[in-house]
Amino acid sequence: MKNDFFKYQAQTTPHPLAMEISRAEGSYIYDKSGGKHLDFVAGVSACTLGHCHPRVVSAIKNQTEKYLHVMVYGEYIQDPAVALTKLLAENLPENLNTTYLVNSGTEAIEGALKLARRATGRTQILYANNAYHGNTMGSMSVMGFEERKNAFKPLIPDCFPVTFNNEADLEKITSETAAIILETIQGGAGFIQPENNYLKKVREKCDETGTLLILDEIQPGFGRTGELFAFQHFGIAPDILVMGKGMGGGMPIGAFTTSHEVMTLLQDNPKLGHITTFGGNPVIASAALATLQELTETDIIKQTLEKEKLFRKLLNHPLITEVRGRGLMLAAMVETPEIANEVILACKDRGLILFWLLFEGRAIRITPPLTISNDEITEGCNIILEVLDSIQKKVN
């Protein structure tokens, strides 16, 4: 299998982890050589309820017995997609009441950018330095990491950077700006939170200039930071909310949500302003609906804040300079990318899955399933501490 993996399947780096997966359940992934791995990454913030959550699996099975794909998005009435978009609206502020379902996060970003241009009649889009919004051409145009963009230029025009949390830069939002797109909590940049009412100030400037605020909650959304969506911590609401990853409980989905009035602009003039074959797929929508039901009917989201406290208490080590983030979107920061790398690889050998952040080499990603138990948190943190101890001994 390993040979075939490298020979036939496209790779994203020259050095993938290449673990051969046998099965996964709860907070553990099992490999083909009998190894059991505690998962502190959750498929990069995607497996909100852990692996193969029974409610998600049962929703998928039930739907597969009724129908799979029947028509392109938006033509037929299919229960799972309708119920999902309705339950989302019931859990969001009033202006966020209509949802367009797509297949991935980056595709949802594309839809949001198009909608902002269509709704304002303007072309300029502002984005943040070190932002990550996905890898299609539109999303890359608003990615704040120039080095990774250069090889693919020219990207879409009229996109300009601002610095996240920098108030002076808000002057760049003008009556020419269609939208500013921000991650509510920056992910790839190193789990950076908005400070000093930054999002309120962005919101005010947008209102003043008729600019739309797009918040990318593809990573922090769906309970990961202790609220269903992270913007709920900051007393504001976006004009367009983008989601994905954890929404599907392990299945591929993305979505963008706005007001009915704004969303209907995609229907007409031109007609078919945004179309997708598989968006809203009934099997995927069933999994997302089961995930959202579980999150809204239990105290899983509230518990993430208690679990954050436990992580912060346990991850106390001279080599950890800071624990960044909120809820179960955490990054243990160390002094150098070399140390982070060594910790991630040594923990892998000891049965703990950790991962990197895209643009911040000193960060060790900790984004476990929201369903992780206190015992599992303790087990994993002990492995991290043991590895850090052995690194410290080598250095001293």
| Residues of span 131-190 touching ligand PLP by CB under 6 A | 132-134, 183, 187
Is 210 exposed, middle or buried, given 0-12, 13-18 or 19+ CB atoms closer than 10 A? middle
Return the number of the residue (330 or 388) whose C-beta is nearest ligand PLP. 330
Residue 346 Cβ vs ligand PLP, minimum distance, rounded to whole Å = 25
Phi, psi of 50, deg, nearest 5: 85, -175
Long-range contacts formed by 343-347: CB under 8 A, 24+ apart? 343/384, 343/387, 343/388, 343/391, 346/387, 346/390, 346/391, 347/383, 347/384, 347/387
User: Which of these segments, 126-134, 231-239, 293-301, 380-388, binds ligand PLP (CB under 6 A)?
Assistant: 126-134
Site residues for ligand PLP, 231-260, by CB under 6 A, read: 244, 254
Q: Is 105 in the site for ligand PLP (CB under 6 A)?
A: yes
Beta-strand ranges (E) seen in 271-327 are 322-326
**Contact (Cβ atoms closer than 8 angstroms) between residue 96 and residue 237:** yes
Nearer CB in complex with ligand PLP: 218/295:
218
Nearer to ligand PLP among residue 132 and residue 198 (C-beta) = 132
Nearest CB to ligand PLP, comparing residues 210 and 361: 361
Using DSSP's 3-state secondary structure scheme, residue 37 falls into strand
Select from 219, 281, 303, 304 the one that contacts ligand PLP (CB under 6 A).
219
Query: Is the separation of the CB atoms in 364 and 343 below 8 Å?
Result: yes
β-bridge partners, 353: 39
The Cα 266–Cα 316 span in angstroms is 50
- For the segment 249-308, give every residue that binds ligand PLP (CB under 6 A): 254
Q: Candidates 104-112, 145-153, 297-305, 381-389: pick the segment binding ligand PLP (CB under 6 A).
A: 104-112
Distance of closest approach, residue 114 Cβ to ligand PLP, in angstroms: 16
How many C-beta atoms lie closer than 10 Å to residue 227's C-beta?
19
Residue 389 CB, nearest distance to ligand PLP (Å)? 32
Q: How far is the CB of 331 from ligand PLP (least distance, A)?
A: 13
Stretch that binds ligand PLP, among 12-20, 62-70, 211-219, 310-318 (CB under 6 A): 211-219
Q: Which is nearer to ligand PLP, 24 or 109 (CB)?
A: 109
Question: In which region does residue 250 sit, left (phi positive, over 0), alpha (psi from -120 to 50) or beta (all else)?
Answer: left
Nearest to 64 by CA among 72, 56, 73: 56
Instruction: Give least dist CB 124 to ligand PLP, A.
Output: 21
- By beta-carbon distance, which residue lies closest to ligand PLP? 105
Q: Is 360 in the site for ligand PLP (CB under 6 A)?
A: no
Q: Which one, 78 or 104, has the nearer CB to ligand PLP?
A: 104
Shortest reach from residue 220's CB to ligand PLP, in Å? 8
Angle between helices 300-314 and 282-297 (to 10 degrees): 70
Closer Cβ to ligand PLP, 124 or 186, answer by number = 186
DSSP state of 35: -
Least separation in angstroms between residue 238's CB and ligand PLP is 14
For residue 114, the surrounding DSSP H or E stretch is helix 105-120
Q: In angstroms, what is the minimal distance from the CB of 356 to ligand PLP?
A: 12
Q: Does 222 bind ligand PLP (CB under 6 A)?
A: no
110 versus 376: smaller Cβ distance to ligand PLP: 110
Contact range with ligand PLP by CB under 6 A, out of 48-56, 213-221, 300-308, 334-342 = 213-221
The residue from 106, 120, 304, 367 that contacts ligand PLP (CB under 6 A) is: 106
- Hunting for tokens 């309820």 — which residue is that? 49
For residue 182, the minimal CB distance to ligand PLP (Å) is 10
Please, what is the minimum distance in Å from the beta carbon of residue 159 to ligand PLP?
A: 15
- Residues that contact ligand PLP, how many (by CB under 6 A): 14
* Cα 195–Cα 213–Cα 194 angle in degrees, nearest 5: 10
For residues 184 and 192, is the Cβ–Cβ distance under 8 A? no
Is 101:280 a contact under the CB 8 Å cutoff?
yes
Cα–Cα distance for residue pair 4/48, rounded to 1 Å: 30
Amino acid at 71: M
The residue ranges that bind ligand PLP (CB under 6 A) are 104-106, 109, 132-134, 183, 187, 216, 218-219, 244, 254
